Amino acid sequence: MKKYLITFLFSVFAVLSVNAQSKTNPQLSKLYQNYIAVKSALASDDFKKTSVAAGEFLKTASLLNSKTLDEKKLNSLKSESKIIAAAKNIDAQRKPFYKLSEVMIAIANEYKISDKTIYVQYCPMAEGSWLSNEKQIINPYYGSSMLKCGSVKSEIK
């Protein structure tokens, strides 16, 4: 009887643990949407829109704490988004987007940040990856000059 009770309790905790991990974290979901805004603005070669989007990303990242996200990732997100927001041109905005994307990809692999499939895309010319809501390649590293350069490397569901 005791053995069955322990097995039952273990099963219940396992199910609860899986359910907790499968729910989208609203704060990280907001951060992801802000990231997508930065990516889209870079892809459209819009310097001002990129600055505004990076500022919104920074505001959202500043509301997170070490209980939501580890300190190293959080500091990196804040630092890179601050550089993007303050940059003087679109090329200077694209450089820190590499690291911002790298950290966001790690977060997307670790946490559920969207209810929809997230596509990890890669541009061999830029040697950089990014996240997208869609399979279609819209390259943030080159914008209009090479908008379709890249491929889907993986999917996060």
> Residue 67: which domain range?
24-156
pLDDT band at 66 (very low <50, low <70, confident <90, very high): confident
pLDDT band at 1 (very low <50, low <70, confident <90, very high): low
Mean per-residue pLDDT, 53-73:
95
Whether 69 is in a domain gets the answer yes
Strand order through the sheet with 128-132: 128-132, 118-123, 151-156
Q: Rounded to an integer, what distance in angstroms lies between the CA atom of residue 11 and that of residue 131?
A: 35
In 3D space, the residue among 45, 5, 36 whose CA is nearest the CA of residue 108 turns out to be: 36
Whether 56 is in a domain gets the answer yes
Whether 142 is in a domain gets the answer yes
DSSP H helices, the chain, are 2-22, 26-43, 47-63, 71-86, 90-110
Say how many domains are in the chain.
1
Q: What's the pLDDT tens digit per position in 28-42?
A: 999 999 999 999 999
Whether 135 is in a domain gets the answer yes
Question: pTM of the predicted model, to two decimals?
Answer: 0.85
